[in-house]
Structure 1
Amino acid sequence: MSRSMSRTLSMVTSVATAAVLILSVAACSESTSQESSSTTLAKSCEATALLDCARQSVLAPYTPDKPTVATGEPINLGMINQDNTVAGSFPELSLAVKAGIEFINKEMGGVKGRPLALEVCNTEFSAEGSTNCAQKFVQQKFPAVLGGIDVFGNGIDTLADNKIPYVGGIPVSSQSFSSPNSFQWSGGSQAAAVAFAWYATEELQAKKVSIVYGEFGSIAASAQMGKKVLEDKGVSVQMVPYPVMSTDLSPAINAAASSTPDAIFLMAADTGCKGGFDGIAALGIKVASFYVGACAAPGIISQVDATKTNGAYFNVEGPIMGDPPIPDNLLYSGVINKYGNGLDPVGAGTVTFRALMNLYAILNQIDGDITPAAITAALEATVDAPNFAGHPYTCNHKQFVGLPAVCSPQQILAQIDNRKLSQITDWIDVGTIYKG
């Protein structure tokens, strides 16, 4: 596989994980405490007190009084992920799930006494590999399959043909966003663009906006969604595409500035983030600039002078840690630190960990046999269900027109100053906004 393909896949992954990366960064830097009815919620969850943290989280209804080991008949779950390939390796997605399962089995008592068992299948970055993984789980009669990252999505089709739910992960393929058996807790870059459009019109009263976007799949689709919302509000929109692998965005940004916009959306990630910061600074452009949340990751922000990022807007998919701290995020960090075998809590593993914990709650709510039909019915019956480190979710396939698999597309916007993100909005209901 070519180096350019590898970089392209990395960029797509960054877009999809956007806000959750920022969520975990904030959780790890939290240093305040909160008094609760039973415990003091400190800045971190110690290895010996994970259940105390769990009692403050959305997992509270399923948390035992003391560490309890699950000993019953295992509930088998599959997971489709891409690992150990020249086109990109994402072991953190499965490692985070494994850590979560170990915590569930060793301390939470499993699902009504039954441990969870996980089998991870590597697509090896091929459509055939994706299908083969799904076929294996169909043959083994697994009741649900967790998502990692699967660019091709063919496996989701196979699972759909057999009515097996595909739960969470990083939604990149069209099937992950649209298949009736897919259930997602991220709105991707599409939801980000809609949130940007809402803020630019409602809060900044923008009349002209330029959208700079990489010519690639979901990124181009997100730019079109942002354009629709803006034009519905009577805003003049200039669309400026650029080659997706370009690191010098100055020509595109210069073209975007030619219309004297009130705001610029930079629908880029990975290497495109730095190019955006550098380009706007070099051209001396002084307008509101919006970036996907992945661009605020420490590894990217640290590459540019703080003055180039000051004032920039980013999307996130959960409240930024402050005072009081957020129990779900603290629990995540504590579990990864204890069971993650060295996995860095800051990263894309937050996405799959969230999906596992939401599925764990669903499994606990099922009376009777754990079957694909029972899991699907339980998910589709959710209405404002507690979402691990996210907005309450509803999986009725109606939360975002065109993205029926998304259960919680809501976004929050943050602004950066001197490398510190501050939350500037409450939840933005992008599904309702896009529907108009």
Structure 2
Amino acid sequence: MRRRTGRVFAAAVAAACAFALVSCTEDSGDNGGGAADESGVAASGEPIRVGLFNPSQGPGTQPGVTTGKEAALEYINNQIGGIAGRPLEIIDCGIDQTAPESTISCANQFVQAGVVAAIDGYNSESQAAVPILTSAGIPMVGQIPFNTATGAAADNRVYFGPPAAAFLVGFMQSLREANKTSLTLANADLPQAHQVFDTLMVPLGQQLGIEVNGIYYPPAGPNFTALATTLADGDPAAAGLMTSPNDNTCTQLSQSLRSVGYQGTMFMAACTDFIDTMGADAVGAQTYSPIWQPPSMDSAPEPAKANLEIAEGYVEDTEGTGGFYAYGTFATLVDFVNGLNTANVTDFTGPNVLAGLKGLTDFQSFLGPQLTCNKPTTPNCTTEMLLFEVTGDRTTEPVGGGYITPNPDVLRLIPGAI
């Protein structure tokens, strides 16, 4: 197992962390570079410091974010030479997605620490940080804007994956093509989830000719049998989760859906662990993703296939939680580094980092499609998404054979989606 040692915080940041509502740590991977892995190139010199909004506290935790961060730091700093030869250093700030004030506290800590960017670790309350970061000239960078307000504007933010609406549109397009016209999805009972269902799911379903219903569960401890019974009520053509905090939620819900006799299409957000756990009972279930994931290894095109093998090795070495959030965080950080290297950014300030990333055109992402990030109306570099179906051998294959491009006329109904 590869090991890391942390750096000591600057005094101001340490004081902020000690008295804030959040926790934060600092990571740079082997003390700012260390020895290269095998034939890799180790970074050296003064680290490039970024912040990470990590949903590691409260009921809506996503532990895979930490796994992906740790794995990416090892790969970036000890294999590919960091950013312009310098190591990446991450100030990991734990936030509670049920408490916007924790996001605000982290944003203020990042300003004090002088980070050149803040990584959005799938934070549904990310909008709370936007005014603070924008005022300080610190761009927000992520994979998917889980907060609809964050995703509604392009200013001072870049997201390498598609907008959240793209996954909904792409999945419902696929249902409609299969003549399936009813869908019931569950989500954690958080404010952002209600907003997504009310402002996105219902009108998108109407546009695509699908009856959409939403139900909610307490994020701290759902009764999965009761949740599955409610989801299966009325025998909708598809039922499951729109998003999930972790793979365990997907596994327990999918098992419960089958136990209550539901035989329709199970939709398990971006989860993958349930496939191994359920075996043949998972066949026919579908998941979404902005990137290729291990169960789809055999179907992935190059260079995503080779890169996925690399990511899998580093994620497994951390011995932490895997799943989508681990691989998504890994891909986000690697795309951040590769993007800045492609843009030849050498003077690391927030505005220069933003300009470098916004200037990426036809940039091949690490685990996803080619990206163009200079669109004035959306922070997202693509609208393409992947919809996977579980096959009989405990693997997944992409529906349609590859990336799905959601209907742009439908996406235009959502601010910032296109």
Fold match by TM threshold 0.5: yes
Q: Deviation per CA, 1:148-174: give whole Å up to 9, x if none.
A: 354433233311222211111664344
Pairing 1:349–2:339 present: no
Q: Deviation per CA, 1:184-243: give whole Å up to 9, x if none.
A: 2344764322112111223x134x32334346445455555344344334x252535354
Moved more, 381-390 or 110-119: 110-119
SS in 2 for 1:249: helix
**Paired letter, 1:390:** G
The aligned counterpart of 1:292 is 269
**Paired letter, 1:369:** D
SS in 1 for 2:73: helix
146, 151, 162: which one aligns with 1:177: 151
Q: CA deviation at 1:329?
A: 0.7
The aligned counterpart of 1:108 is 80
Contact 2:172 2:210 in 1 (8 A): no
1:6-405 equivalences under 5 Å are 48=38, 67-83=40-56, 85=57, 87=59, 90=62, 92-123=64-95, 126-153=99-126, 154-168=128-142, 171-178=145-152, 180-187=155-162, 190-202=165-177, 204-206=178-180, 208-214=181-187, 216-223=190-197, 225-233=200-208, 235=209, 237-243=211-217, 245-247=222-224, 248-257=226-235, 263-268=237-242, 269=244, 271=249, 274-275=252-253, 278-279=256-257, 282-283=260-261, 285=263, 287-294=264-271, 297-298=272-273, 300-301=274-275, 304=278, 306-307=280-281, 309-319=282-292, 320-322=296-298, 326-337=305-316, 340=318, 342-343=319-320, 345-346=322-323, 348-364=325-341, 365-397=343-375, 404-405=378-379
Distance 1:282 1:389, change over 3 A: same
Q: Superposition RMSD on alpha carbons, in Å? A: 3.5
Contact 2:345 2:353 in 1 (8 A): no
The aligned counterpart of 1:432 is 408
Q: CA deviation at 1:427?
A: 0.9
Q: CA deviation at 1:389?
A: 0.2
For these two proteins, the number of residue pairs brought into alignment is: 355
Q: CA deviation at 1:413?
A: 1.9
Distance 1:256 1:197 in 2: 18
Q: Deviation per CA, 1:307-328: give whole Å up to 9, x if none.
A: 3x33223223234211677011
Moved more, 370-379 or 242-251: 242-251
Distance 1:205 1:353, change over 3 A: same
Distance 1:217 1:416 in 2: 31
Gaps of 5+ in 2: 1-36, 413-418
Distance 2:67 2:398 in 1: 29
**How many percent identity over aligned positions?**
20
The aligned counterpart of 1:38 is none
Gaps of 5+ in 1: 1-46, 50-66
Distance 1:192 1:376, change over 3 A: same
The aligned counterpart of 2:390 is 416
